[in-house]
Amino acid sequence: MNSAWQTGREMNPLTESDAEVYVASVCFKTGPPGSVGVEVERLVHDVANHRLPVPVARVSEAVAASEKPLPGGGVITFEPGGQLEISSACAADLASVVAATRADLAAVEALLADGGLCFGAVALDPNRPPVRSLDHPRYAAMEHHFDRRGTAGRTMMCSTAALQISLDAGLDSPGTAGAKQRWARLHNLLPVLVAMFANSPFLRGVPSGWHSNRQRMWLATDPTRTAAVPSAADPRLAWARYALDAFVLCIPSETASWKAPSGLTMRNWLRGEGPRPATLDDLTYHLTTLFPPVRPRGFLEIRVIDAQAGSDWETVTAMVTALMDDERAADLAEEACAPLASLSDPIRTAARDALAAPVLASAALGCAEAAVLALPRLGADAATRNRAEDFVDRYTARGRSPADERLDLWRRTGSCFSPSEYEKGSEYAR
């Protein structure tokens, strides 16, 4: 690597060609699949009144009541609207990450309950307005940038929650375990993941006609950083070009506002159009502000899945891992997803219609059945296997997603939630 890239803020200005080479060189850390990480993000509510705003400070105070680290080794962070995220330590296999994250979630839920708080059950807050309570110049600049396009970005920042799964990039070789093949297969799988696990059918308290309003908000936010990386024979080069062509969201500074000039891309900044010469530090920070459906960070970070209620995060983590890391399941999933090529905008269709779209329902069932059969081969324990089977029986096999059950409840009761979902200790009640 060019030694200039290792001297931090002391280095010379970065050239466009060096920047492209650098981004391409760090996006995939190749190696055999197997490791798994998960980030469980949740909305947080007041137990007595789920419409009451719960700022970051209150959530932080509740979880800080215990000075002990999380038992599974995960780390707690907070999103701008008060959402809590537990990021697991990278685990060697599926069974390990599930066991660790179970323990972490149970510990955090107990702390929240002691503070009169609980986890939310959907992926977009249906009632509370999007209000940023995390005071950091990054988020102030982000809010300013997104507000130029409308309200979707602010809603995304402050009112949504996702389940993110991270998997190994794969080998630097051809075949199903190769990085290029895994990148392509994962992108083909994305519409099924959006549809099968859709869990945000409400917007401003009523059904909106979309099953995943969380994904809808992402689609309406700055597409230079939230759209999928274009398909290409060389995903490394495609990612590098995507990164350089994205708008600069913020420019960190110790003395000034972090707001970036409107319309400035990283490529143009490297060409001398920014407020000062761009450095490697600027480029590496810029990469943290890009949010495509699959983000290559050495590993593959999957970002399209709605937050789930209760223990359903376990099912999703297990099934996605199976569809990527088990060779037989991956082959079956590729076959099941082939008809999705007929859709003009598969992710948008998935977010709007979920499994009400017959082609998505068929693909999802094929993927779900393949995943469930693969779980014993991946060492998943009996609880995970049973939860996955129950999920498929309850939803996928019936052409339904969790959003459909939410909509049924709303039609019966006029409420987005059942009362039991705001009782203390409900995390693993189902």
DSSP calls for 168-195: ---BSSSSTTBHHHHHHHHHHHHHHHHH
Angle at 340 between CA 335 and CA 343, to 5 degrees: 165
The confidence score (pLDDT) of residue 255 equals 85
Q: 326-332 — which CB contacts under 8 Å span 24+ positions?
A: 326/371, 326/374, 326/377, 326/378, 327/176, 327/177, 328/370, 328/373, 328/374, 328/377, 329/370, 329/371, 329/373, 329/374, 330/176, 330/185, 331/176, 332/366, 332/367, 332/369, 332/370
Q: Are 354 and 198 within 8 A, CB to CB?
A: yes
**Does pTM surpass 0.85?**
yes
The confidence score (pLDDT) of residue 4 equals 36
Q: Find the DSSP H helices in 326-381.
A: 327-337, 346-353, 358-374
Rounded CA separation 22/203 (Å): 41
Residues in the chain: 430
Q: At what angle do helices 346-353 and 358-374 cross, to 10 degrees?
A: 90
Pair of tokens at residue 267? 């490529």
Q: Are 323 and 329 within 8 A, CB to CB?
A: yes
Return averaged pLDDT per consecutive 10 residues of the chain, 430 residues in all.
Answer: 38 90 94 94 96 96 92 97 97 98 98 97 96 95 96 97 97 87 97 98 96 98 97 96 98 92 98 96 97 97 98 98 97 97 97 98 98 98 98 98 97 86 47
| HSE-up (13 A, CA, CB side) for residue 104 | 26
Q: pLDDT digit string (tens) for 171-205?
A: 988 878 899 999 999 999 999 999 999 999 999 99
Longest dimension (CA), the chain: 65
Task: Find, among 152, 159, 163, 161, the residue nearest to 132 by Cα.
Answer: 159
The confidence score (pLDDT) of residue 421 equals 73
The confidence score (pLDDT) of residue 423 equals 53
